[in-house]
Amino acid sequence: MDSTTVTPQLTRLQPDCTAEEVVALLHRDGAVIIERYADPATIERVRTEMRPWIEACGPGREAFVGFKTARAGAVMARSPASHQLALDPMLNQACGSFLAPHADGYQLHLTQLTSIGPGEGEQRLHRDREVWGGRVPRTVETQFSTIWALTDFTADNGATRVVPGSHRWAEGRKPKAHEITAARMEATSVLVYSGSVIHGGGRNDTDRHRDGLLLHNTLDWLRQEENQYLSCPPHIAQHFSPELRALLGYRSSFGMGFVSHPFPPGEAAELVSPEALFRHPTSHWPGLVLSL
């Protein structure tokens, strides 16, 4: 077979892989699979905690999100088990290294459980960086993204389609059929990919749902796709670890993101980091909604 018609495959790493290995493969291929990386009990807890919201979702209203696909966000607020995945030390080390050339830090950009239903068609192939309308230069990498397999991902049930190496392509180049591969992986595995690699949800020809958890990070100076301060307002975020609050964006970075407390004059400092909010009893936050 001519080498130009061989479908490229995603590299698969073992659970004991290093952040350096992940970053190297992101630079080379734009995506990598880490097999059986998560604790099965954690994955099952995420599914259980998110099930009420997925079951309450109506069908999608346009082709890109899927007419037979359910999507539920605010995952950090709804699924305590997901915190372990969002704060995974190795992946956060890899994220920090991968995005370091373009920012002083990173933040949680999107949290979503995606359940591709039977009969769903293929999602349009795209780059996640398109959410900013092409206004961020291609020399700036925008995202470090993960899709955690909550169920097995197969070629028949909607496994994410990926075009390895496409993060280096010219803007207008379209993939040929043989350049697209399916990210087949067992439940508990995770697909890690950049915001510049071409990908899209697969077609589900089975009678069962394909469930994946999207946890995407972006540069700390870009607007998040999911508004984390509304998904996880202070009365919810106060119960999170400082590390998770920082990942959500409750921190300042080189003067960006400061707050002025809604206290009476003289009772609190001005222009402070959001982290200071959580040093005060919630009853002293008159300007914030503390219960829903």
Per-residue confidence at 105, pLDDT binned at 50, 70, 90? very high
> What would the pLDDT profile of 56-90 be if each residue is shown by its tens digit?
998 788 999 999 999 999 999 999 999 999 999 99
Residue 137 has pLDDT above 90, yes or no: yes
Residue 277, pLDDT score: 77
Q: Token digits for 292?
A: 């829903």
What does pTM read for this prediction? 0.92
Q: Report the alpha-carbon distance of residue 180 to residue 159 in Å, rounded.
A: 12
Residue 266, number of CB atoms within 10 A of its CB: 6
Residue 284, pLDDT score: 47
* Cα 50 off chain centre by: 16
Task: Give 250-280 as a DSSP string.
Answer: -S-BTTBT-B---SPTTSS-SSB-GGGGGGS
Residue 271, pLDDT score: 80
Residue 291, pLDDT score: 38
Percent of the chain residues topping a pLDDT of 90: 80
Q: What is the mean pLDDT of the chain?
A: 92
